[in-house]
């Protein structure tokens, strides 16, 4: 039996002695495809994904959309996804693309314009729907991003209702998908997570919990990029498990959530030799963000326009660089551990003076099993091109 079918059936008590097991609902595997990343469309198979979110289209203040790669052939990728049996969606927003959301959704004219732009894009590229990634309604992700603490979240709901109506008018009621990329806590109102987000789940088909980047190179201490569980009093007190609980407690059905899994991780610069405290992945670090892998290009901060690295390491480059010569295997000369509390691997390189927190097949499999045990719809991969020979997406599918 498939991992998801078995886990969901067992968790729901559907396997009854002496009776045939009921068929569990199909699970989904969503993959984000970075249109501004390396062109891997010719050498990857999308057959392991049920949904491909093509990222990103960034809203401008007037409600128009600007692609992160103007020359990218969205229609071609959508056709490739369809040929493999997957649905194709346009992902709107993202970290850099969330600048104007607050000012758009508070204005009826701008909201209507953005709905029109999305409907036009779905029609033009024969897409199956749209994915909205507003990094954190009610909170300013960056100092120069507009936010309205009291009204962003209700305004966002109003916008989504208008988007549902616009898609329905053009293509037929509920014929197109609306999905959301969401943070680890429910959308904020007046500085606190919403107590009830059930109205959002009525409009949207799925929400993808982005439970990664939780501990990063800009924080005071090293720590797990994507903990399954957090360790009390150590690092950020957020995790995938905690996020699932927060969203379901606020009324979002588990069967309309996916567990977001990054296909990679980050590096940072510890302040001292971590091997002196060999089992502790929480140690003081520099606030200087190092270059991550060879594809970690400097980007301009949207507010200060200062160049910076992200410290990002894609899993395919962890494998290709020799840090991970094989799946679940680290190179000699590295201080490697698998943290039992957070169920994440980490590496310290004495030669490079670098800390690496990342996902591998074991940690991805643990997250997939946990999500299934909680009755989630499936998993989300960030991003498709960051995998190596389908090792991580394969771990989601492992029986």
Domain count across the chain? 2
pLDDT tens digit sequence for 312-326: 999 999 999 999 999
* Domain assignment present for 58: yes
Say whether both 298 and 189 belong to one domain. Answer: no
Determine the pLDDT at residue 1: 39
Say whether both 178 and 218 belong to one domain. Answer: yes
Higher pLDDT: 217 or 6? It is 217
Say whether both 238 and 307 belong to one domain. Answer: no
Largest alpha-carbon pair distance within the chain?
66
* Domain assignment present for 345: yes
Question: Predicted confidence band at 292 (pLDDT cuts at 50, 70, 90)?
Answer: very high
Question: Predicted confidence band at 302 (pLDDT cuts at 50, 70, 90)?
Answer: confident
Say whether both 179 and 230 belong to one domain. Answer: yes
Does the pLDDT of residue 384 top 80, yes or no?
A: yes
Say whether both 51 and 185 belong to one domain. Answer: yes
pLDDT tens digit sequence for 101-116: 999 999 999 999 999 9
Please give the distance of CA 204 from its chain centroid, rounded to a whole number: 17
pLDDT tens digit sequence for 9-30: 444 343 333 333 333 333 899 9
Determine the pLDDT at residue 328: 85
Which of 349, 374, 389 delimits the end of a domain?
349
The enclosing domain of 246 has a CATH number of 3.20.20.80
Say whether both 196 and 293 belong to one domain. Answer: no
3-class SS of residue 254: helix
* Domain assignment present for 104: yes
Does the pLDDT of residue 6 top 50, yes or no?
A: no
* Domain assignment present for 166: yes
Q: Which of 30, 221, 20, 60 lies closest to 129, judged by CA?
A: 30
Q: Give the tokens for residue 301.
A: 């901060």
Does the pLDDT of residue 213 top 90, yes or no?
A: yes
Say whether both 175 and 288 belong to one domain. Answer: no
Say whether both 144 and 31 belong to one domain. Answer: yes
Say whether both 338 and 370 belong to one domain. Answer: no
- In sequence order, the β-bridge partners of residue 217 are none
Say whether both 152 and 39 belong to one domain. Answer: yes
Tell me what the mean pLDDT of segment 185-203 comes to.
98
pLDDT tens digit sequence for 121-158: 999 999 999 999 998 999 987 888 889 999 999 999 99
Determine the pLDDT at residue 177: 99
d(CA 103, CA 99): 9
- Within 8 A by CB and 6+ apart from 27, the residues are 2, 4, 5, 8, 372, 377, 378, 379
> Could you identify the residue written with the tokens 């959704």?
105
* Domain assignment present for 184: yes
Residue 321 lies in domain: 274-349
Q: Give the tokens for residue 322.
A: 């020799």
Average pLDDT over the chain reads: 92
Say whether both 377 and 307 belong to one domain. Answer: no
Determine the pLDDT at residue 2: 44
* Domain assignment present for 146: yes
Higher pLDDT: 141 or 225? It is 225
* Domain assignment present for 88: yes
Do residues 318 and 264 make contact, with C-beta atoms less than 8 angstroms apart? Answer: yes
Percent of the chain with pLDDT over 70: 92
Does the pLDDT of residue 7 top 90, yes or no?
A: no
Tell me what the mean pLDDT of segment 358-378 comes to.
97
Say whether both 255 and 285 belong to one domain. Answer: no
* Domain assignment present for 354: no
Determine the pLDDT at residue 127: 99
Determine the pLDDT at residue 237: 98
How would you class 393 by CB atoms within 10 Å of its CB: exposed for 0-12, middle for 13-18, buried for 19 or more? buried
């Amino acid at each position: 039996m498939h991992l998801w079918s078995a886990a969901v059936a067992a968790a729901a008590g559907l396997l009854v002695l002496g009776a045939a097991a009921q068929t569990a609902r199909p699970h989904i595997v969503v993959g984000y495809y970075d249109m501004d990343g390396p062109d891997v469309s010719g050498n990857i198979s999308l057959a392991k994904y049920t949904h491909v979110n093509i990222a990103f289209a960034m809203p401008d203040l007037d409600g128009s959309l600007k692609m992160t790669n103007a020359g990218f052939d969205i229609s071609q990728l959508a056709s490739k996804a369809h040929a493999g049996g997957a649905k194709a969606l346009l992902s709107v927003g993202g970290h850099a693309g969330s600048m104007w959301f607050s000012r758009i959704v508070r204005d009826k004219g701008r909201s209507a314009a953005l709905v029109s732009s999305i409907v036009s894009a779905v029609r033009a590229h024969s897409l199956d729907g749209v994915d909205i990634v507003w990094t954190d309604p009610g909170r300013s992700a960056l100092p120069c991003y507009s936010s309205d603490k009291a009204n962003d979240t209700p305004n966002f709901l109003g916008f989504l209702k208008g988007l549902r109506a616009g898609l329905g008018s053009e293509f037929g009621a509920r014929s197109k998908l609306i999905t959301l990329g969401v943070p680890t806590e429910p959308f904020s109102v007046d500085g606190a997570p919403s107590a009830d987000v059930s109205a959002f789940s009525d409009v949207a088909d799925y929400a993808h919990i982005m439970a990664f980047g939780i501990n990063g190179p800009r924080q005071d201490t090293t720590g797990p990029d994507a903990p399954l569980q957090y360790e009390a009093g150590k690092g950020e007190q957020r995790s995938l498990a905690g996020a699932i609980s927060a969203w379901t407690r606020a009324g979002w059905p588990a069967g309309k959530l996916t567990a977001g899994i990054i296909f990679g991780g980050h590096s940072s610069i510890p302040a001292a030799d971590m091997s002196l405290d060999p089992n502790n992945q929480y140690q003081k670090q520099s606030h200087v963000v190092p270059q991550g892998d060879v594809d970690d290009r400097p980007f301009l901060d949207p507010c200060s326009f200062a160049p910076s690295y992200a410290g990002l390491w894609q899993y395919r480059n962890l494998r290709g660089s020799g840090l991970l010569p094989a799946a679940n295997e680290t190179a000699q000369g590295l201080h490697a551990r698998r943290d039992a509390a957070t169920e994440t691997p980490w590496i310290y390189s004495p030669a490079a003076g670098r800390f690496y927190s990342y996902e591998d097949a074991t940690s991805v499999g643990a997250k997939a099993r946990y999500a299934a045990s909680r009755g989630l719809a499936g998993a989300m991969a960030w991003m498709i091109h960051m995998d190596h020979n389908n090792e991580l997406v394969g771990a989601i599918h492992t029986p």
